[in-house]
Chain A
Amino acid sequence: DQQVKQNSPSLSVQEGRISILNCDYTNSMFDYFLWYKKYPAEGPTFLISISSIKDKNEDGRFTVFLNKSAKHLSLHIVPSQPGDSAVYFCAASALYSGGGADGLTFGKGTHLIIQP
């Protein structure tokens, strides 16, 4: 049973435009959500996060939106740049519900391709 779903395996966006990556979750215990970025042959690096008490968190070109009622979050990248081409993983934890030591539950990832 997949608790974190990224339904788009890949996404192609023109440079300068907005990239929107989506993520859905099923476990109501999840209370903290993260996005990781991964280049080939490297480990994932933390990008941005949001706790369930917020509905938006912004960091430069990256904004994450959380819709708790829909169990949906999205990552917006504006404007998209060639260096943003990578695999993006959505992840969730039940940290404040006592599940922190179990680590994170990851989606399958979305490969973002920024076209020049």
Chain B
Amino acid sequence: DVKVTQSSRYLVKRTGEKVFLECVQDMDHENMFWYRQDPGLGLRLIYFSYDVKMKEKGDIPEGYSVSREKKERFSLILESASTNQTSMYLCASLLGGANVLTFGAGSRLTVL
């Protein structure tokens, strides 16, 4: 089974802090994604990557950046956290040519 691991399940940060959310997958998938989930808004795509060092903006990239230095690792960076970035962040991976995303357990971020 594909495993997508998000190392931080719960984080509390202060406004203005830099935040790193890490995601690792163990099945050699080419594509990786970051979504955020908010009540009433569903899952919204922040950024995705289809190869090492490649990144593409999703629907709501503002205030975020990403890094993919290795195939198995996809990091989401909040350069200066704001309260409206309080959310559940979900990482996912996808085998190229396939169509089922596998999600991690999520990282619940609270920005005070």
Contact = CB atoms under 8 A, between A and B. Distances in A.
A103 B92 contact: yes
Contacts of A44: 43, 90, 103
A101 B31 contact: yes
B48 A49 contact: no
Interface residues of B, number: 32
Contact of A43 (B40, B56, B94, B106): B106
A41 interface: yes
Interface string A8-48: 01000000000000000000000010101010011111100
A108 interface: yes
A45 B92 CA distance: 11
Interface string B95-109: 011111111111010
Contacts of B104: 43
Contacts of B101: 46, 91, 103-104
Contacts of B50: 101
Contacts of A45: 103
Contact of A103 (B37, B48, B97): B48
15 contacts: A41-B105, A41-B106, A45-B103, A49-B100, A91-B43, A100-B96, A101-B31, A102-B45, A102-B56, A103-B92, A103-B94, A107-B42, A108-B40, A108-B42, A109-B43
Interface of B: 4, 9, 30-31, 33, 35, 37, 40-45, 48, 50, 56, 58, 90, 92, 94, 96-106, 108
Interface of A: 6, 9, 32, 34, 36, 38, 41-46, 49, 89, 91, 93, 95, 100-104, 106-109
